[in-house]
Structure 1
């Protein structure tokens, strides 16, 4: 605010009076104000960027952490690309608002208020002319903001669709599928159409209300002309000096700049509400499988592994028919339970309840008499190990894939687990051994090799309870026999729940439960169930 007043003194006093010392001081003051303003601008940028980035970091980590707490059911009904888009595109789209809004409002508001006070001090009559533009400017800005908010929501949805297409079309599995089915051109067309839609939405967003804002620019430009006219009319001049007129015009330009910035910030904030809504839609999701309020204190290494499933009923969200109903089973510590039945009978669902990937709607699952819902999730993960029929390997080395489950594992422990899973010799034969990159989702290895790596990864954690969900389904007969022998050795003193279609893998189980449409229809040993000539005997045919 100091520069216009210094300028007025230069024009009205220092130059007309040829006062060189005063002129030097006034010019030096102008330079000093510019230097100080620049320094403060750098500090302001540092503070705003630092605070803004901390907010962005907090949002990203909060969304990622909250999504990590969601149950598997959430991810089965949500597109992966959609989840990625929320974290990257939506939060990224808020960056300018988050990093600059607070300082922009503070600096522009204080500048506008200070400028208005200075203008009134110079000439309250001319100030009234300058401020007459405010009501239409505010009205038009609100209209533009509402329009951009709708377009922003549509644009983020299109970005999510684009992410989904990229994730599905450029993954290893997606590329293999498109090449084998000949759908590559259709995927390209789908991607192109979504990308073209983004062009249209971005143009609409940038041009939304542009004619209205252009009209405001014309009005802002016309205000100085009105001021010069007022200064030249005898009725409004009031003995105004040239210096006062120049200083006032300079202040008036300084007023319109922060006012325009404030209006634009309002538009940006309103537009970003669409992004905030999408992000907080995820942050507000209830956690279906959450940490207990007061977890029971247990030492995972002291767990015996006595599993009880007590009158358990479970229904998937959106389904009317229960996936499991009235399940009662007892698996004494160190014994083996085999779950068999036709596809869709509820075997994998029951296994997921034992690992607490979901909670039963009624009844409970206990280990050593403790309800699973009372375990801290980290403790439960050390107690129950799962090898599923869908093997997922990280895009890193074999060693790091195995160490993922136990970061402190030594190389010797890693090799012992690999030997137990009958995969050490295969790894050792590779040129880089345990430092071999497995490739995206482990596609460098065959299905059986990936399955054995997953088994080794689980065994490295040495859980007291094992859930094997079709764990040998991808193995050939010879390899399956070898892995099964390793399981038999490792199952001693460990509770094992095996889910299988091939009955040859469960014939030696201590107990076999036959499921049909979510209910247990038979239990017993392999021999006794064959003698009963019931559902199990029919499955073995």
Structure 2
């Protein structure tokens, strides 16, 4: 499950901005992975001209908007007292023109800034997806479920707000505040000075109330997250099964009730804090104009101000508070935005453990015989803790090698070195004498086909799932691969045949049926080397015998490396290698190893005993 903070990046940014202080999670992120403004600027460098137009439009919109109060002053002080209809029509028309102009400029500015944000987001998203595709299998086993999706979707999606909200709001707020302050001074420097004296304590009071609400809201979000976790853990199929078998229902119900009761109090406090914030802002909005009206009534402070000037000044002052608050939160917005980019760059800077060779050797499927060699191969997931040591094996082209051994002996790890799911730490693995690390990854994928114990089927039709392995495959080739995997008859019996939608993770098919679909998908690629890692583990004995008979026909034309715990899967292999603690301790045929009476004989006796018990 994705971390709660990962899936609510945008929420964090908005909560931090309201509180007037950076979110601690953003500060931790930047401390762990600093990011420079220069690097962010490079992302937007191709769009410099468009961004310059956006900034110019923001300044123009703010400047045009400032004309409105001055037009109102002329209407009140000149057009209305003189009953000058022509001037009145002119001024009213100008007011309407200002409104239309600012609206049009706003639409154009939003269109341009959104277009820039979307293009940058598209480039980032595509580059990050391609970069993550190049990561080794080890990266995905080390990474929490949902974390990759969160950064690719949520973080990059939230980046749109950096352009359309953070950057543009800073420019707009700065322009409005500076322009409004200048206009207020031009109208009445005395009242402008009064506004500047009154505004700081009003802003401070509002920020204090916002911080109080932030604390309550943060606690409410945490308790709400707890509630979601309890619902998921307690009401999922697996959770209900565990609860019933452990008799834990009363305890879970009491815990849920406690969390729900906590949320009642937090929700009330959150609502009250929000109401206090709104009330504070309403008081500020009323108090500042009231002070200005009061000052305008005294000759010492009014300076002979006209009614129109007073109305225009009040209108300007009313437009000052919100952009001023926005500017005070610039630090928070920048911190949140930088943290967002930091999270994205953290993944895009990941080193590629298994990369394309600088000068790849070419070995096409048509040329390949499929001879595989392991030469002094060693492998370690962590330094100083070898999983494989000194592996020397030769698999002639067209032959079958079976890898056997107890759990944790290194069988799957050894097999994974052939398709470069991992790279050997020492030694090398070759196909037809070429180190697999020197082959282009596309060539290697054409040469080596892999079927694992864990099948993965997409939410698409059967045909599309099979064609995923070979996009140019014809329907006849797809059906032939299905026949070889003994799944064609089942597919044909479905109401929609090969157009039947598999469903999420293949839920419409049993485990054995999914395994046969995976085998068909791999056979469709027609690889020179076939790696079967517990590929028949989900099959019943009868289906397994049928599949093995098919694989016997298929493996005559290709090299096969198979891993299995069932004796029936490995006994007919041309050569069997027995692994123990990462080393090959025995090799030979089934009969030779039985006569040897060593570890393989022990494994066979244990395997036969399990088969009899299962039967």
Between 228-237 and 484-493, the greater mean CA deviation after superposition = 228-237
1:290 aligns with 2:355: yes
1:310-351 CA distance string (max 9 Å, x none)? 22222234x863221222222222222111111111101111
Q: Deviations over 1:261-311 (max 9, x none)?
A: 434565455456665555554444443333444444443443332222222
Question: Which stretch shows the higher mean deviation, 146-155 or 531-540?
Answer: 146-155
- Cα shift readout 1:119-160 (whole Å, capped 9, x = no counterpart): 222223322222335655777788899999999999998898
Q: CA contact under 8 A between 1:388 and 1:469: conserved in structure 2?
A: yes
Q: Does 1:440 align with 2:479?
A: no
Contact 2:75 2:88 in 1 (8 A): yes
CA contact (8 A) 1:314 1:362 kept: yes
Contact 1:141 1:264 in 2 (8 A): no
Measure how far apart 1:421 and its partner are.
1.2
Alignment of 1:493-504 (within 5 A): 493-504=557-568
Correspondence list, 1:151-162, <5 A: none
Distance in 1, Cα, partners of 2:205 & 2:392: 67
Query: SS of the residue aligned with 2:82?
Result: coil
Aligned positions of 1:366-377 closer than 5 A: 366-377=430-441
Whether the 8 Å CA contact 1:89–1:159 is kept in 2: the answer is: no
Per the alignment, do residues 41 and 295 of structure 1 end up closer, same or farther by CA in structure 2, a change over 3 Å counting?
same
Q: Does 1:73 align with 2:138?
A: yes
Distance 1:146 1:255, change over 3 A: closer
CA distance in 2, matches of 1:143, 1:328: 70
CA drift of 1:428 comes to 2.1
CA distance 1:448–1:175, shift in 2 (3 Å): farther
Question: Number of paired residues?
Answer: 539
TM-score by length of 2: 0.75
User: Cα distance 1:187–1:413, how it changes in 2: closer, same or farther (>3 A)?
Assistant: farther
Matched, 1:513 2:567: no
- Residue equivalent to 1:362: 426
Aligned-partner SS, 2:319: helix
- Tell me, yes or no, if the aligned pair for 1:304 and 1:333 is still in contact at 8 Å: yes
- The DSSP-based 3-state class of the residue aligned with 2:81 is coil
C-alpha distance in 2 between matches for 1:505 and 1:327: 23
Secondary structure of 1:522's counterpart equals strand
Q: Does the C-alpha gap of structure 1 residues 90 and 156 become closer, same or farther in structure 2, counting only changes over 3 Å?
A: farther
Tell me the CA shift for residue 491 of structure 1.
Answer: 1.5
- Asked if structure 1 preserves the Cα contact closer than 8 Å seen for 2:364 and 2:447, the reply is no
Distance 1:264 1:321, change over 3 A: closer
Higher mean C-alpha deviation, range 231-240 or range 268-277: 268-277
- Structure 1 residue 245: deviation in Å? 2.0
**Aligned residue in 1 for 2:21:** none
Q: Which residue of 2 aligns with 1:132?
A: 197
* CA deviation after TM superposition for structure 1 residue 49, in Å: 3.6
Gaps of 5+ in 2: 1-65, 606-615
Counterpart Cα distance in 1 of 2:218 and 2:340? 7
Q: TM-score, normalised by structure 1?
A: 0.85
Matching of residue 303 in structure 1 with residue 368 in structure 2: yes
Partner of 1:4, secondary structure, is helix
How far residue 39 of structure 1 moved from its aligned partner, in angstroms, is: 1.8
The CA distance in 1 between the partners of 2:351 and 2:227, in whole Å, is 27
Q: Confirm or deny: 8 A CA contact 1:149 1:272 kept in the other structure.
A: no
Please tell me whether residue 3 in structure 1 is matched to residue 68 in structure 2. yes
Q: Would the aligned equivalents of 1:80 and 1:167 in 2 still touch at CA under 8 Å?
A: no
TM-aligned CA distance change 1:150 to 1:358, over 3 Å? farther
Aligned counterpart, 1:529: 593
2:444 aligned to 361, 380, 383, which one? 380
The separation in 1 between residues aligned to 2:433 and 2:277, in whole angstroms, is 70
CA deviations 1:348-374 (Å, max 9, x no partner) are: 111112221122222222223333233
SS of 2:429's equivalent? strand
Distance 1:329 1:468, change over 3 A: same
Preserved CA contact (<8 Å) 2:575 2:587: yes
Instruction: Evaluate the alpha carbon distance shift between residue 506 and residue 180 of structure 1 in structure 2; reply closer, same or farther with a 3 A threshold.
Output: farther
Residues 356-414 of structure 1, C-alpha deviation per residue, up to 9 Å, x if partnerless? 11222222222233332333333322221111112222233222221121122111000
Contact 1:309 1:330 in 2 (8 A): yes
SS for the counterpart of 1:80 is coil
| Distance in 2 (alpha carbons) for counterparts of 1:118 and 1:439 | 64
List aligned pairs for 1:125-524, cutoff 5 A.
125-132=190-197, 174=238, 181=245, 215=280, 218-219=283-284, 221-263=286-328, 267-271=332-336, 278-317=343-382, 321-524=385-588
Is 1:27 aligned to residue 99 of structure 2?
Answer: no
**Cα distance, 1:459 vs structure 2:** 0.5
Q: Distance in 2 between matches of 1:435 and 1:218?
A: 65
